[in-house]
Structure 1
Amino acid sequence: MANTYKAMRTNKKELKMQRKKTNILHHNLNAEYPVLQRGEGVYVFDNKGKRYLDAVGGVGVVNIGHGVEEVMEAIEKQMRTLAFSYNGTVDNQPAEDMAAKLQQWAPAGMGETKTLFSSGGAEANEGAIKLAYQYHWERGLPSKKKIIGRWQSYHGNTIGTLSASGRTSWRSMYDPYMLDFMHISPPYCYRCPWGESYPGCKMECAYALKKTIKQAGPENISAFLAEPVIGTSMSAVVPPKEYYPIIREICDEFDVLFIVDEVMTGVGRTGKPWGIDNWQVTPDIITTSKGISGGYSPLGVLMLNEKICKTIEDGTGLVTHSCTYGGNPVSCAAGLATLEYIEKNDLVSRAGI
């Protein structure tokens, strides 16, 4: 055993000596990363000319392929016109156009939506958590502040979103900083946490939300946050058809908002505009990123339904939340061009085949 450990340490040292020098703090400091140089369609090429099939679009991001002329032209045109403006004090046309396009994509039950832009999914989810609470606060219900998430979920790597997540392997190192978020077990039929079998299980995984809300007190619960299809932490687990309708009913019964994290599942990836559309359920808040701009520029989206927007508008009328690059004109131009490309090529329905 001692010799094995010594050999492992020796190999590690040798690898360290062989690695090229870099000032980047990579995820794995003992690995050497290929240096990508260009992309073309579904392929990327490294600096040695090796070609790779970009099968997952980097990390579920490049959903229309590399080198799409229409998107690159839209970005170049916008960069030559206006590269930056701060959405806390001024507006810009690409952000307005992108928000209007997202209204066209929104589930009908959300009504007249309003969108808050950011740079990525974690920022969007942080905003959703904050604005869900503000909605209740504006109604004179300041105790409704707790968020319920699911184990094996993933919503981002900030302290707030990691606390809402149930990805234990990523939480453990930072456990002292994790906030007091509640979690229920996931709808994982293959290894049911209750030892049941679908469909005779009575959907305990969904009714666990009701039990948790009642135990904590409905007057304390702000929102339930979930990925429609559980992503990186459970490798695309699809809940049963009854799951989200039950979740929606429970949220309505206890005046709890339903936030869907569509960072992975949104923008047509499941054959519907949004992953949650497969269950014919309307959320209160949608967050998305990744494929919304096809990887051409960082973009995150937080979309609020009409009920939440009107409550804030009729109350303080103020949203004390913004991001430096939120509503960036170049990113919004990239997002708009991406959505138009998806529509033009009917990629949503083609993804469902």
Structure 2
Amino acid sequence: TKHVLADYFGTELVMHQDIADKIKAWFESRNVPFHEVNRLQAMLPRDCTVLPNPLGTASGMWFERPSGQVVVSMPGVPYEMEGLMMSEVLPRLRSHFKLPTTLYETIVTAGIGESSLAALVSDWESALPSKGVSLAYLPSPGQVKVRIGVQGPAEDRKSLAHLLEAEAQAFVDLAYDHVIGRGDSGLPEAVLNMLKKRGETLCTAESCTGGQIAAMLTAVPGASASMWGGVVAYDNRVKQDLLGVSAENLAKHGSVSECVVKAMARGARMRLGTDWALATSGVAGPSGGTAAKPVGLVWMAVAGPEGEMAWCHRFGSQRERIVQRASRRILTHLHEAMREGPRRVG
């Protein structure tokens, strides 16, 4: 790419020593050998503005034509490209061009599908175009993000911000029972924030989700304030020995059952000494399903100060999506349980 761009803009490739030094430091910080081929990544067009890439070794390149047009070249690795776009490209574009003001507010919902959510807010949504407000549904397994947007002249930024906030609040009021957060916050962040506010703790006991719930929670910075630990009880002996599930219930009802997930959650809560515990047990597939318990069937439970709650869901037939959707759904159940407050459930 850089050879083509250098030729197109009538310039030559030269060594940018400051970039070469940064690339070398990047490799050394990871204890990876630094070779000549790596140093050559700093051979870049003389007449471009080099955009430093803190997430990798391939720099971005910014070219300006006399007419005012701009050409930008970025790394191909998606997360490096995104990082460079946010840190370098967008700020430069805003400075270089007179752009309209575009503002967005993202609201995260869970426990409701896209079509049901759209039906819930249909009257509000139908009035948005006349106000100059856009709406986009961004579904993913277990949650739907709603992005509300406004656009107008830069001098109208204040009024646009007021309009955006008013419409965002109107949506939250309509979909309150399903809203778990705003902005980049997702289910794990929402659960951990609520636990922190309540001064409470959480642990997990996972079978079919294989530690995915704990991984989602501990991926959030500061999770250790509320997330104490977890048990991956894939084998029934672990369910018995570590979580106190009775051999009788396992023999009579099987591991994928209401009584077993309740016992798993209760046992984890007692064993780890937390206020809340989550448990999952299901058939993730692709094999192992029966007519009574098909692939995709998952039992899950929440144990809290007032007892245990359990639910049975079916999440399709694809293993990865079953695990992902089950992990998100149990976090939704916990969030709802905490929002509703303690109640005796069994």
The TM-score by the shorter chain falls in which range?
0.3 to 0.5
- Structure 1 or 2, whichever has the larger Rg, is 2
TM-score for the superposition, normalised by structure 1: 0.33
User: Could you state the TM-score of these two structures normalised by the residue count of structure 2?
Assistant: 0.33
Greater RCO, CA 8 A, separation 6+: 1
